[in-house]
Amino acid sequence: MIDLNDEAVDFKIVLIGPENSGKSAIINSIFGKYISTVSEVGGTTKMPIKKFWGQIKIGKSKKNPKFAKLSFVDLGGLYAGEKKSPIMVGRILDETYKEIDNAHLIIHVVDGKKGLSKSFEKLHHLLKYRYQKPIIVVISKSDLIDANNINDLKNHIEKRLENKTIITSTITYQGITELLNTIIELLKK
């Protein structure tokens, strides 16, 4: 996945999900500051928003350590809802798929309030088998989900996507550290 022969390798991470699923809020939480506009109005993010996060050590050697330069890309929502068509067209959609194609890792954001839509279940499997890239599934907005339903939702999504999930909240920062640690572990493999 990563060529450790380079002094510092670029590692691009893209966030995908339906519009208004919490992708921009997760980016802001990862950076600890405002990077991407967060709005209750769906479709606020149109063109991909790229931001360099930092450089981390991924090699085990103390003499000649290896590093990765992490960049995150906030992509606009690909679908407006279960019965609606894709909301992106033309150049915006082309740019979005170019970012996915050039990414090393995909973070698939599922809106915890709305659950997993059929269209995004299909997209997840398409990305998984077409691109053969690691995918981290994040369930967002856990602070808005009834505590009794969180584990049921997590189990349902893990079963449907055949992927481990991380439950997050950008209000309480639940799961953000786990997400970063998971990214770092994938980098070290």
Joined tokens for residue 181: 């640690």
CA distance linking residue 55 with residue 176, whole number of Å: 18
Q: How confident is the model at residue 1 (pLDDT cuts 50, 70, 90)?
A: very low
Give the chain's largest Cα–Cα span. 56
CA distance linking residue 49 with residue 34, whole number of Å: 12
Tens digits of per-residue pLDDT, 68-104? 899 999 887 766 554 554 555 566 777 878 888 999 9
pTM, two decimals, is 0.83
Q: How confident is the model at residue 38 (pLDDT cuts 50, 70, 90)?
A: low
Tens digits of per-residue pLDDT, 152-165? 999 999 999 999 99
Token pair 């808005």 is found at: 144
List, in sequence order, the alpha helices (H) in the chain: 23-31, 90-102, 118-131, 147-161, 176-188
Is a pLDDT exceeding 90 seen at residue 135?
yes
Terminal-residue alpha carbon distance, the chain: 8
The domain limits of the chain are 8-188
CATH of domain 8-188: 3.40.50.300
The DSSP secondary structure of 21-76, one letter per residue, reads SSHHHHHHHHHTS--S---SSTT---S-EEEEEEEEE----SSS--EEEEEEEEPP
